[in-house]
A and B are shown apart, each in its own frame.
Chain A
Amino acid sequence: MLNSNNPTDRFIYHFNPEETTITMQTKNLEVYYGKTLAMQHADIQFKQNTITALIGPSGSGKSTFLRSLNRMNDDVATVKGQILYQGVDINQPKIDVYEVRRRIGMVFQRPNPFAKSIYGNITFALERRGIHDKRVLDEVVEKTLKQAAVWDQVKDNLHKSALSLSGGQAQRVCIARALAVQPDVLLLDEPASALDPVSTQQLEQTLRELKQDYTIIIVTHNMQQAARLSDYTVFFNLGEAIEYNKTRKVFTRPKIELTDDYVSGNFG
């Protein structure tokens, strides 16, 4: 592993908490797969209503980091350190992990609609939480599908199977599904990697609009995507956060040479 204990090998931007609302923050996070340390040195603050991109080569720990944020790594890995969400450390056994995941929603790499109708996909988690009022559910379905910018395409077929949707539409329905439980934070793990360029562009537009209401953290392999979509960027390498700054700065004037190499395409 890269020896980056030397602080000059790393640049992590810190907000002034007096001026900025921090939605999430990680402190001394370490993730182990078995006994292998897979990720460390990533003290990142996520500012409310922004899009933060996590970039880096394969195996750099960015997905591991993302999945730790809503404790999706619970059965897979050991996560040490603090994950503060609205000031509360959610990386503790006594915290209700289901409530964590409701507030910190996740959208995955491959669109994964359930074998249910489009309507059923969106209302499913609500129904499991005891909400059966059809008027409420109808409203949620319409609102979230509009937020995910797919309402016009599916509104006449809400009761057809979600498995029949195209990749782009399915991914938007998955976003709507995540929004239905009213999260604050949306984690996206390479959400566009299985989509064609047109669907990708539409998805990015949707995310730009969603950031008015949500704090968005997105893992992407695509540096152009990070550059045009995000406000802040974290560059990961070999299981560590190397540079965290405003996206513009990361891509135009990176502070760390490794970042420069990566964003200019010299490795990765």
Chain B
Amino acid sequence: MNRTQKQSRTAILILRLIAGLVVLILAFLIGYIFITGLPNVSWRFLTSPAKAFTAGGGIGIQLFNSIYLLILAMLISLPIALGASIYLNEYAKDNWFTSTIRTAIEILSSLPSVVVGLFGFLLFVIQFNYGFSIISGALTLTIFNLPLLTRNIEEALAGVSDDQRQGGLGLGLSKYETIIHIVVPAALPGIISGIILCSGRVFGEAAALIYTAGQSAPALNFGDWNPFNIDSPLSPLRPAETLAVHIWKINSEGIMPDLTKVSSGAAAVLVLAILIFNLSARYIGRKVFEKMTSVN
């Protein structure tokens, strides 16, 4: 074996080791979280409310809050992100205005989430007087989520072949009709993958919510689904500690005797949920594509 071959082999070996190390770190983290956490997870743990001073508390309300906030944040950010990405990918010319928008999105996506959270606190909680509430949290999450979602949808749109656009125009349809009825449906698998990936990120977010959705999870009356009642689960004006915030909170100031058990159980549930989001994103996108192209 000559020198070049030796060099090449060593290089490949080192690169493999580095790549392996990344996988190992992830596997170790997930393994540790699951092994210490999952034994504490039971149906009762997932459904019962948290307890502040005694053992045996669950994460039911926090779990519900996380899901509700995620849905609200997505409902607000999806139309905006869709509009922005359609504009950027389909209409925007290459000029200073477009590049300003792109730079703004870039910067917005790299802002630390705690900064976004404090901004949400000042604007929604204080200025708009929404208080620590679901709506403050959802609006803050929208700011946090918008740049990534816009970029994901834009990529999905960019992946649609120009032939499709030409086809629509060639039939005498307007550009707008072509985009809404041909390009967006064709991009649907990618858009759905993008939404799910962003959901995972939003679901696990804590810093942006500490000062917006609040750190308390008041008891909810699951028999009352009128959003205008303050103890209704759907009420947008109630404070809503999420799962990720709950983990941070009890670890920094929790005094319940089974603190570590609750914390590790909650962490395992959170990580599991995010894993499911991430792993299902591609799968569901592919399934949608298969359905769109299927023989039946």
A115 to nearest B CB, angstroms? Answer: 4
CB neighbours of A115 from chain B (8 A)? 182, 185-186, 188, 292-293
The A182-199 residues at the B interface (CB cut-off 8 A) are: none
The B161-192 residues at the A interface (CB cut-off 8 A) are: 161, 163-164, 166-174, 177, 181-182, 185-186, 188
Complex contact B293–A72 (CB within 8 A): no
Query: Does B111 interact with chain A (Cβ within 8 Å)?
Result: no
Query: Does B42 interact with chain A (Cβ within 8 Å)?
Result: no
Complex contact B167–A98 (CB within 8 A): no
Complex contact B296–A98 (CB within 8 A): no
Complex contact A181–B172 (CB within 8 A): yes
Cα-based distance from A12 to B164 in the complex (angstroms): 35
Query: Does B294 interact with chain A (Cβ within 8 Å)?
Result: yes
Complex contact A125–B173 (CB within 8 A): yes
Q: How many residues of B contact A (CB 8 A)?
A: 23
Cα-based distance from A107 to B163 in the complex (angstroms): 10
Q: Which B residue sits closest to A129, measured CB to CB?
A: B172
Complex contact A72–B170 (CB within 8 A): yes
Q: State whether A105 and B163 are in contact (beta carbons under 8 Å apart), knowing that A115-B292, A124-B181, A164-B294 are contacts in the complex.
A: no
B189 to nearest A CB, angstroms? Answer: 9
Q: Hey, what's the 0/1 contact readout for B178-211 against A, CB within 8 Å counting as 1? A: 0001100110100000000000000000000000
Overall SS of chain B's interface: helix
A217 to nearest B CB, angstroms? Answer: 14
A191 to nearest B CB, angstroms? Answer: 12
Query: Does A161 interact with chain B (Cβ within 8 Å)?
Result: yes
Q: Which B residue sits closest to A174, measured CB to CB?
A: B167
Complex contact B172–A160 (CB within 8 A): no
A118 to nearest B CB, angstroms? Answer: 12
Cα-based distance from A181 to B172 in the complex (angstroms): 9
CB neighbours of B163 from chain A (8 A)? 108, 110, 112
A53 to nearest B CB, angstroms? Answer: 20
Q: Hey, what's the 0/1 contact readout for B281-296 against A, CB within 8 Å counting as 1? A: 0000000000011111
CB neighbours of B181 from chain A (8 A)? 124, 128
A35 to nearest B CB, angstroms? Answer: 17
Query: Does A178 interact with chain B (Cβ within 8 Å)?
Result: yes
CB neighbours of A157 from chain B (8 A)? 295
B185 to nearest A CB, angstroms? Answer: 5
The A77-106 residues at the B interface (CB cut-off 8 A) are: 98-102, 105-106
Complex contact B295–A164 (CB within 8 A): yes
Query: Does A177 interact with chain B (Cβ within 8 Å)?
Result: yes
Complex contact B161–A102 (CB within 8 A): no
Q: Which B residue sits closest to A160, measured CB to CB?
A: B295
The B133-176 residues at the A interface (CB cut-off 8 A) are: 161, 163-164, 166-174
Q: State whether A108 and B173 are in contact (beta carbons under 8 Å apart), knowing that A115-B185, A115-B186, A163-B292 are contacts in the complex.
A: no
Query: Does A116 interact with chain B (Cβ within 8 Å)?
Result: yes
> Which of B166, B182, B185, B186 touches A72 (beta carbons < 8 Å)?
B166
Cα-based distance from A174 to B182 in the complex (angstroms): 14
Cα-based distance from A196 to B161 in the complex (angstroms): 22
Cα-based distance from A184 to B123 in the complex (angstroms): 60
The A120-155 residues at the B interface (CB cut-off 8 A) are: 124-125, 128
CB neighbours of A101 from chain B (8 A)? 169-172
Cα-based distance from A112 to B171 in the complex (angstroms): 12
Cα-based distance from A117 to B65 in the complex (angstroms): 40
B293 to nearest A CB, angstroms? Answer: 4
B170 to nearest A CB, angstroms? Answer: 4
CB neighbours of A99 from chain B (8 A)? 172
> Which of A98, A116, A164, A177 touches B185 (beta carbons < 8 Å)?
A116
Sample of 25 A–B contacts (CB below 8 Å): A70-B170, A72-B166, A99-B172, A101-B169, A102-B171, A106-B166, A106-B170, A108-B166, A110-B163, A112-B161, A112-B166, A115-B185, A124-B181, A125-B171, A128-B181, A160-B295, A161-B292, A161-B293, A161-B295, A163-B293, A164-B294, A174-B167, A177-B167, A181-B171, A181-B172
* A-B residue pairs, 7 tightest by C-beta: A102-B172, A112-B163, A106-B170, A101-B172, A163-B293, A125-B171, A112-B167
A-binding residues in B (CB < 8 A)? 161, 163-164, 166-174, 177, 181-182, 185-186, 188, 292-296
Other than the known A115-B185, A125-B171, what 12 A-B pairs have Cβ atoms closer than 8 Å?
A72-B166, A72-B169, A98-B172, A98-B173, A110-B163, A112-B167, A114-B182, A125-B172, A160-B296, A163-B292, A163-B293, A164-B295
